[in-house]
Chain A
Amino acid sequence: MNRDARVEAFVAAFEALRAEVEKVIVGHHEVITHVLIGMFAGGHVLLEGVPGLGKTLLIKTLSEGLELSFSRIQFTPDLMPADIIGTNIIVEDADGRKHFQFQHGPIFAHILLADEINRATPKTQSALLEGMQEGAVTVGGASRPLPAPFFVLATQNPIEMEGTYPLPEAQLDRFLFKLRVRYPALDELNAIIDRTTQSRPATVSRVLSGPAVLSFRELIREVPIASHVRDFASAIVMATHPQWEQAPEVARRFVRYGASPRAAQALVLGAKVRALAEGRYNVSIEDIKALAAPALRHRVILNFEGEAEGVDTDTLVARVLDNTEAATAQAREPFLR
Chain B
Amino acid sequence: MNESSRIEGLLRRIRREIRRRRAEYYGLRGAFWGAVAGAVLLLAKHAVGSTAAWAAAALVILGAVAGIAYGAARRVARGDAARVADRAFGLDDRVATTLEWAGRADRTRLVDSLVADTVARVEALELKRAVGRVVPREGRLLAVPVLACLVLAITPPIPMPSGRLPDFLPSGEEEREEHASSSMLEETSRPTAKDPLKRPSFEEHDFAQRAGGSGATTTGDLSAIFKDTSLASQRPDFNSFMKKGDERLRMLEQVDRLPDLQSDFTSSQYKMVYRKSKALTGGLRPDQISPQKLRELLEEMERLGRKGGGNWSGDAMEGMEALEGGQPDRALDAMQKALDKMRAMDEAQRSGKGLRGGRENERSGRGRDRARGDGMGPEDQDFGEGEGLMPGRGRSGSPKGEATQRLRANPYDVGVEGESRRGRKDGYDTNLTGRGGSMASRLQYLGVIGQYRKAMEDAITREQVPRDFHDQIRSYFQALDER
Indicate which residue in A4, A284, A330 contacts B109 across the interface (CB closer than 8 Å).
A4
Q: Which of these binds chain A: B114-122, B159-167, B259-267, B357-365? A: B114-122
Q: B103-133 vs A: 1/0 string, CB under 8 Å?
A: 0000111110110110010000000000100
Q: Which residues of B contact A226 (CB under 8 A)?
A: 93, 96-97, 100-101
Return chain B residues, CB-CB under 8 Å to A222: 108-110
Judged by a CB distance under 8 angstroms, whether B295 is at the interface is no
Chain B, residue nearest A224 (CB): B101
Contact A7 B92 (CB under 8 A): no
A223 to B80, CA, bound (A): 22
> In the bound complex, do residue A2 and residue B134 qualify as a contact, i.e. CB atoms below 8 Å apart?
no
Count of A-B contacts judged by CB separation below 8 Å:
80
Map CB proximity to B onto A1-18 as digits: 1 under 8 Å, 0 otherwise. 111100100000000000
A283 interfacial by beta-carbon distance below 8 Å: yes
Contacts of A337 in B (CB 8 A): 87
| Cβ–Cβ contact B83 & A330, under 8 A | yes
Let me know if A3 and B80 touch, CB within 8 A: no
A252 to B50 CA separation, bound complex (whole angstroms): 62
User: Which of B22, B80, B100, B107 interacts with A227 by CB under 8 Å?
Assistant: B100
- The reply to whether B22 and A282 contact each other, CB–CB distance below 8 Å, is no
B29 contacts A by Cβ under 8 Å = no
Cross-chain contact of A7 among B93, B98, B110 (Cβ < 8 A): B110
Q: Does B59 make an interface contact (CB < 8 A)?
A: no
Q: Is the CB of B84 within 8 A of A336?
A: yes
Q: Which residues of B contact A281 (CB under 8 A)?
A: 94, 110-111, 113-114, 117
Q: Is B7 an interface residue (CB 8 A)?
A: no
A225 is an interface residue with CB less than 8 A from chain B: yes
Main secondary structure of the interface of B (DSSP, over half): helix
Within 8 A of B (CB), among A299-337: 330, 334-337
Alpha-carbon separation in the docked complex, A330 to B93 (Å): 13
| Smallest CB separation, B303 vs chain A (Å) | 84
Most buried by A among B18, B79, B92: B92
Instruction: Flag whether B353 is at the interface (Cβ < 8 A).
Output: no
Q: Does A29 contact B (CB under 8 A)?
A: no
Is the C-beta of B21 less than 8 angstroms from some C-beta in chain A? yes
Interface residues on A, range: 20 to 34
Residue of B nearest to A2 (CB): B116
- In the complex, are the beta carbons of B117 and A283 less than 8 A apart? no
Complex Cα–Cα for A225 and B109 (A): 14
Which A residues touch B107, using CB under 8 A? Answer: 224
CB <8 Å contact, A335 and B84:
yes
Complex interface: chain B residues within 8 A of A229 (CB): 93, 96-97
- Which of A282, A334, A335 sits near B97, CB closer than 8 Å? A282
Residues of B within 8 A of A206 (CB): none
Contacts of A282 in B (CB 8 A): 92-94, 97-98, 101, 114
A226 to B114, CA, bound (A): 12
B83 contacts which of A7, A225, A228 (Cβ < 8 Å)?
A: A228
23 A–B contacts from the bound complex (CB under 8 Å): A2-B117, A7-B110, A7-B113, A222-B108, A222-B110, A223-B110, A224-B107, A226-B96, A226-B101, A228-B79, A229-B93, A281-B94, A281-B110, A281-B111, A282-B97, A284-B92, A284-B93, A286-B92, A330-B80, A330-B83, A335-B84, A336-B18, A337-B87
Residues of B within 8 A of A (CB): 18, 21-22, 25, 79-80, 83-84, 86-87, 92-94, 96-98, 100-101, 107-111, 113-114, 116-117, 120, 131, 134
- Which 5 A-B pairs give the minimum distances between C-beta atoms? A281-B114, A282-B97, A284-B92, A226-B97, A284-B93
Q: A281-B117, A282-B114 are in contact. List 13 more A-B contacts (CB 8 A).
A: A2-B116, A3-B113, A4-B110, A219-B110, A222-B108, A223-B110, A282-B93, A283-B97, A284-B86, A286-B92, A330-B80, A335-B131, A335-B134
